Amino acid sequence: MAQIIDGKAISAQIKEELKDRVSQMKAEGREVTLAVIQVGSDPASTVYVGNKKKACGYVGIRSLSYELPEETTEEKLLGLIEELNGRTDVNGILVQLPLPKHISEDKVIGAICPEKDVDGFHPQSVGKLCIGQPGFVSCTPAGIIQLLKRSGIEIAGKECVVVGRSNIVGKPMALLLLRENGTVTVAHSKTEDLKSICRRADILVAAVGRPKMITREYVKEGAAVIDVGIHRMENNKLCGDVDYEDVAPVCSAITPVPGGVGPMTIAMLMNNCVESVELQAK
């Protein structure tokens, strides 16, 4: 039977470690502050932002909340970012995506000072990841590396297949697995014979955005399967990109949905906030 990778437990462990680090920092007179900006009131974004602020409270990070109306201009948002960039009492800046259509996400991400880019989305952060320099790393893929390491799954020398090439997950995931000395293939919607490519994987990361697409025909016996997807089904239950019931019997380890990758994203955001203070101290 496959090892079920418990993201809830591992994220709780990371948050405990961070809580200790933050209280140590407080004892030295250093505070950690994250500014969270939401534009508009997309219900999913409101839930995500609420969870991020709650995690901040738990770990001991101060969070500043900016809830801006849907019709906020790009200029106004860029002005706020500039102000937060200049504030020495703000360590991290997070702009919840997606933004309303009239605002350029690229412009907004590019305006965040790279030393405060706790999401790891700034081109400088991505570039540093690519050439192996220290910098902020996108939280979901960073969390997946923690899941693998803390579950005792070896990456070095292994065949890793990432299905999906988004800027937030697929691409940084591939770079991180490479940094850990994995042999990495990035597959996507145009990949020919996706099943046989996926069946090569010792570590298969599914970030395709299609419910239950990855069935056991895509999985080599004994592979570790990481499911980044989260979808609400007609019966109101959640499922991932992986058909869990079908795949679990053939793999060696698998992340459930919910309770696998999801909780790790916020834990790694908290980690990046703590690291931002250390980075800015340098």
Residues annotated as catalytic (active site), given as ranges: 52, 96, 119
Q: How far is the CB of 64 from ligand GUN (least distance, A)?
A: 15
SS3 (DSSP) at 173: helix
The answer to whether 266 contacts ligand GUN (rule: CB under 6 A) is: no
Q: Which of residues 98-157 bind ligand GUN (CB under 6 A)?
A: 119, 139
φ, ψ for residue 231 (rounded to 5)? Answer: -135, 145
- Shorter beta-carbon distance to ligand GUN: residue 33 or 223: 33
On whether the CB atoms of residues 41 and 70 are closer than 8 A, the answer is yes
Q: Which two tokens stand for residue 26?
A: 């407080």
The answer to whether 63 contacts ligand GUN (rule: CB under 6 A) is: no
The answer to whether 68 contacts ligand GUN (rule: CB under 6 A) is: no
Q: How far is the CB of 10 from ligand GUN (least distance, A)?
A: 18
61: alpha, beta or left? (left if phi > 0; alpha if psi -120 to 50)? beta
Q: Give the relative orientation of helices 139-150 and 262-281 as an angle to the nearest 10 degrees.
A: 110
- Shorter beta-carbon distance to ligand GUN: residue 201 or 270: 270
User: Which residue is associated with the tokens 């991290």?
Assistant: 92
Number of residues in the chain: 282
**Residue showing the smallest CB distance to ligand GUN in the complex:** 97
Among 261, 8, 256, 18, which residue's Cα sits nearest to residue 145? 261
φ, ψ for residue 44 (rounded to 5)? Answer: -65, -45
Q: How far is the CB of 263 from ligand GUN (least distance, A)?
A: 13
How far apart, in whole angstroms, are the C-alpha atoms of residue 185 and residue 240? 21
Site string for ligand GUN, 172-211 (x = CB under 6 A): ----------------------------------------
Q: Which stretch binds ligand GUN (CB under 6 A): 81-89, 94-102, 153-161, 236-244?
A: 94-102
In the list 10, 94, 126, 207, the residue contacting ligand GUN (rule: CB under 6 A) is: 94
User: Which residue is associated with the tokens 């999985």?
Assistant: 219
Q: Which stretch binds ligand GUN (CB under 6 A): 82-90, 95-103, 179-187, 206-214?
A: 95-103
- Shorter beta-carbon distance to ligand GUN: residue 93 or 219: 93
On whether the CB atoms of residues 240 and 206 are closer than 8 A, the answer is yes
Residues forming contacts to ligand GUN in the complex (CB under 6 A) are 94-97, 119, 139, 265
